[in-house]
Amino acid sequence: MTKNHMMAHLTDALNEGQDIGHYGRLVYAIIGRHFVEEDELVSLLAQDKDFSEQGARDLVRQVQEADYSPPGRAKIMEYMEKQDFPILPNADDPDEGNVYRDLDFPQHVYDHIQEYRHQKAETD
């Protein structure tokens, strides 16, 4: 997970007890759930000074139940505009936040994205 600069940045901030913001936690949970066990992800998120362990557990379960696909850079940039904490440590770098370049997700993630694109193309 820390092969990606953004995820390493978020992990470091959490380890320091920083508040990474609602959208930072959401991005972290959506991506992190594919790389660490649920309890470890909850523990990492609960290090956020403004987030409880129960809040972390609820977020992780919500993300799992909704089966959110990892967000692309454009969505992460939208999220960053809604909070103070910089999810992307270097937003000027066009490769920053491209989790699909740096991380290998389970095949079902790519299948889910392909299915979404196919459905969207049919409705357009």
Banded model confidence at residue 90, pLDDT cuts 50, 70, 90: very high
Q: Tell me: the pLDDT tens digits for 69-80?
A: 999 999 999 999
Confidence of residue 120 (pLDDT cuts 50, 70, 90): low
- Residue percentage of the chain with pLDDT more than 90: 76
Q: Is the pLDDT higher at 63 or at 113? A: 63
Predicted TM-score (pTM) of the model is 0.89
Cβ atoms 10, 20 nearer than 8 A: yes
Neighbours of 21 (CB within 10 A): 21
Residue-level pLDDT at 116: 58
pLDDT at 52 over 80: yes
- Calculate the CA dihedral of residues 59, 63, 69, 75 and round it to 10 degrees: -30
pLDDT exceeds 90 at position 10: yes
3-state SS class at 95: coil
Q: Is the pLDDT of residue 28 over 80?
A: yes
What is the predicted pLDDT for the residue at 118? 62
User: Which two structure tokens, joined as six digits, stand for 100?
Assistant: 């699909």
Q: What is the pLDDT of residue 122?
A: 77
Q: Is 91 helix (H, G, I), strand (E, B) or coil?
A: coil
* Statement: residue 113 has pLDDT above 90: no
- SS3 call for 42: helix
